[in-house]
């Protein structure tokens, strides 16, 4: 019995040993297979698909960062720098949208803000397309940027990046000419996305020259390749892709004259224009009051913005191209031209008792008691309203409108600035559409003195007076003088004729002689413009308006009268009758112009 038990136990032991050996062999085979598969995979990666996996490895540690192209500078006609770029700084978070409690705590302490604010910045901040960097702080002040740079070396997820920031050297000088830039809008990007110079992070011009020549100023961004470690910290910069700076623009504006007139006008609600008569180059363009351009390149509060847009002087409006006014008496030389072309003799006289009557309505002259017998020359010299009432009523409104249109009113001048208004050149059809009424004789007599429904921009009147100065030739006004690209190639802007008025020279001579006497005669409304060293042809005037208790003041003309170099227009909202304030600005300009010659 004992022998049988021992035999059974031996058989069980032998069976267990065999089973153990079998399982051990299975395990050995499994391990060999696993190692074999690993070796095969390594062989595949290192031999057959080596390049592909090297590239994938690079992508895991090499990132692309965009380098913003510097925007082109802007200079005046003499090479004086008006707009340039300075270094700006932004703080970026390198982990995209990912964060933890420790990261949030560290950033909150660094920036001195709440944890909730940090989380909001990480969750909703602007993400850079190529690197996944998240902008935490844009437009850091230089001192703050340097302090942050000293502290972030221990934080692998933060970096301070410098960029090109727009800087307007004289802040508010020529603000309506230069304009400003702001981040591209969604609507703009959809329109411009096929153009390689624009990205979702571009800044675009919103006003003035910055807007008009935005593409020239933009340049083309480059890229830098950066190596990062496992913690997303930048290890080194590997190489750069070429950056193409924007083109530099040289304007026709003269800084010295621009600043002088800007300072002279101060906070007046005014516009002043001066242009080379035979080229169309604008040398002075002041819309007053001006506004701070550097305000738009930095962070500003809603309070600051509301203060600007609610300013009763409306500094954001360009009074030269973006606002329209009745021209008043400076319209009279154009009306006189229509009289001449309708066969009215320049020496024909009317008697002015101080008013012109149509039915029960009396249209009054500015001089109580009237001017007595008046011909065309006297009507211009003394600005006799009754002469224009009488002759305008005689020929009707159509010839006046046709002549004004030939001088460029009712249409854009084509100046190289955005958002130019066309004004209103009213006729019978226009009034029917807008008021549902017919055209009355009273509408014609009001039109004949530059009142009624007629509205113009100061720039339109500048072009009209250029036509008068050049005996029928009007040059297209322009601001850009030349462009120099990043390779140093120069493109000069050629002048262009925009109006050819086929009028008789004797008619232009008649108007010129009368406009000279506006200044030289002791009875002339523009006698305050008189200068011993230059002969000036001009017309001053005033225009009624609904916004001010006083009238708008105008002065327009050219000099020297016999061979015009400069055409000018001066305008002051609510500036008073007779053009007194407007003429003072012209005097200041002429004196400074000849002082600088």
- The residues facing 271 across adjacent strands are 287, 571
pLDDT of residue 171 exceeding 80, the answer is yes
- State how far the Cα of 589 lies from the Cα of 502, in Å rounded to an integer: 32
pLDDT tens track for 29-45: 777 776 666 666 555 54
Q: Which of 57-66, 136-145, 227-236 has the highest mean pLDDT?
A: 136-145
Q: pLDDT band for 122, please (50, 70, 90 cuts).
A: confident
| Mean pLDDT computed over 167-188 | 94
Which pLDDT belongs to residue 210? 98
- State how far the Cα of 415 lies from the Cα of 508, in Å rounded to an integer: 25
Task: Return the structure tokens found at 309.
Answer: 């847009």
Which pLDDT belongs to residue 156? 77
pLDDT of residue 578 exceeding 70, the answer is no
Which pLDDT belongs to residue 40? 66
| E strands in 154-216 | 158-168, 181-183, 203-205
User: To the nearest whole percent, how much of the chain has pLDDT over 90?
Assistant: 60
Q: Which residue has the tokens 């500003």?
A: 300
Which of 355-364, 373-382, 424-433 is predicted with the least confidence, judged by mean pLDDT?
A: 355-364
Higher pLDDT, 24 or 304: 304
Which pLDDT belongs to residue 96? 72
Q: pLDDT band for 129, please (50, 70, 90 cuts).
A: very low
pLDDT tens track for 216-271: 999 988 877 777 766 556 666 666 778 899 999 999 999 999 999 999 999 999 99
Which pLDDT belongs to residue 159? 80
Domain locations along the chain: 67-251, 257-596
pLDDT of residue 98 exceeding 80, the answer is no
Which pLDDT belongs to residue 9? 60
User: What φ, ψ does residue 579 adopt, rounded to 5°?
Assistant: 70, 20
Q: pLDDT band for 162, please (50, 70, 90 cuts).
A: confident
pLDDT of residue 11 exceeding 90, the answer is no
pLDDT of residue 431 exceeding 70, the answer is yes
Higher pLDDT, 443 or 58: 443
Cβ neighbors of 171 (< 8 A, separation 6 or more) are 292, 293, 294
| H or E segment to which residue 331 belongs | none
pLDDT of residue 324 exceeding 70, the answer is yes
Which pLDDT belongs to residue 92? 82
**Span 67-251: which CATH code?**
3.90.1310.10
Which pLDDT belongs to residue 229? 67
Average predicted confidence (pLDDT) for the chain: 87
Q: pLDDT band for 137, please (50, 70, 90 cuts).
A: confident
CATH topology of domain 257-596: Beta-lactamase (3.40.710)
* 551 neighbors 576 (Cβ within 8 angstroms): yes
Task: Return the structure tokens found at 548.
Answer: 């001010």
Which pLDDT belongs to residue 138? 78
* 474 neighbors 447 (Cβ within 8 angstroms): no
| Mean pLDDT computed over 416-440 | 96
Which pLDDT belongs to residue 34? 67
* 558 neighbors 535 (Cβ within 8 angstroms): no
User: To the nearest whole percent, how much of the chain has pLDDT over 70?
Assistant: 85
Task: Return the structure tokens found at 198.
Answer: 């624009």
Q: Which residue has the tokens 């001195």?
A: 112
Give 456's DSSP letter: B
């Amino acid at each position: 019995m004992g022998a049988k038990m021992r035999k059974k136990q031996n058989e069980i032991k032998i069976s267990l040993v065999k089973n153990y050996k079998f399982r051990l062999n299975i395990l050995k085979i499994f391990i060999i297979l696993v190692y074999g598969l690993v070796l095969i995979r390594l062989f595949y990666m290192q031999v057959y698909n080596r390049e592909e996996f090297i590239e994938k490895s690079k992508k895991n540690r090499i990132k692309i960062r965009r380098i913003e192209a510097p925007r082109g500078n802007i200079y005046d006609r003499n090479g004086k720098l008006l707009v340039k770029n300075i270094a700006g700084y932004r703080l970026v978070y390198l982990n995209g949208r990912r964060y933890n409690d420790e990261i949030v705590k560290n950033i909150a302490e660094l920036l001195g803000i709440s944890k909730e604010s940090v989380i909001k910045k990480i969750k909703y901040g602007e993400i850079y397309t190529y690197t996944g960097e998240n902008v935490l702080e844009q437009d850091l002040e230089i001192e703050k940027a340097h302090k942050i740079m000293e502290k972030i070396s221990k934080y692998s997820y933060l970096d301070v990046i410098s960029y090109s920031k727009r800087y307007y050297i004289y802040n508010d000088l020529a603000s309506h000419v230069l304009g400003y830039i702001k981040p591209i809008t969604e609507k703009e990007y959809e329109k411009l996305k096929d153009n390689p110079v624009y990205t979702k992070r571009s800044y675009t011009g919103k006003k003035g020259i910055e807007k008009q020549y935005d593409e020239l100023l933009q340049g083309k961004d480059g890229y830098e390749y950066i190596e990062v470690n496992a913690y997303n910290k930048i290890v080194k910069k590997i190489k750069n892709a070429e950056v193409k700076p924007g083109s530099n623009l040289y304007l026709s504006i003269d800084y010295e004259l621009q600043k002088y007139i800007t300072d002279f006008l101060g906070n007046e609600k005014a516009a002043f224009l001066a242009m080379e008569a035979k080229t169309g180059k604008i040398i002075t363009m002041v819309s007053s009051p001006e506004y701070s351009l550097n305000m738009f390149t930095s962070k500003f509060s809603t309070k600051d913005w509301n203060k600007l847009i609610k300013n009763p002087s409306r500094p954001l409006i360009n009074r030269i191209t973006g606002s329209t006014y009745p021209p008043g008496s400076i319209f009279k030389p154009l009306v006189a031209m229509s009289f001449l072309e309708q066969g009215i003799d320049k020496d024909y006289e009317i008697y002015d008792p101080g008013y012109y009557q149509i039915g029960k309505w009396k249209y009054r002259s500015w001089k109580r008691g009237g001017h007595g017998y008046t011909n065309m020359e006297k009507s211009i010299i003394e600005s006799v309203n009754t002469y224009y009432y009488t002759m305008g009523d005689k020929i009707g409104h159509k010839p006046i409108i046709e002549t004004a249109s030939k001088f460029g009113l009712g249409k854009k001048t084509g100046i190289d600035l955005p958002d130019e208004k066309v004004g209103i050149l009213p006729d019978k059809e226009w009034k029917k559409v807008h008021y549902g009424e017919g055209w009355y004789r009273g509408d014609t007599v009001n039109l004949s003195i530059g009142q009624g429904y007629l509205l113009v921009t100061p720039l339109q009147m500048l072009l009209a007076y250029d036509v008068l100065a050049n005996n029928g030739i009007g040059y297209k006004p322009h601001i850009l003088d030349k462009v120099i690209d990043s390779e140093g190639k120069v493109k000069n802007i050629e002048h262009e004729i925009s109006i050819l008025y086929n009028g008789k020279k004797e008619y232009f001579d008649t108007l010129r002689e009368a406009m000279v006497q506006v200044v030289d005669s002791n009875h002339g409304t523009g006698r305050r413009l008189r200068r011993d060293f230059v002969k000036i042809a001009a017309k001053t005037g005033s225009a009624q308006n609904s916004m001010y208790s006083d009238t708008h003041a105008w002065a327009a003309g050219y000099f020297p009268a016999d061979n015009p170099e400069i055409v000018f227009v001066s305008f002051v909202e609510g500036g008073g009758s007779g053009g007194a304030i407007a003429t003072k600005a012209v005097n200041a300009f002429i004196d400074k112009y000849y002082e600088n010659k």
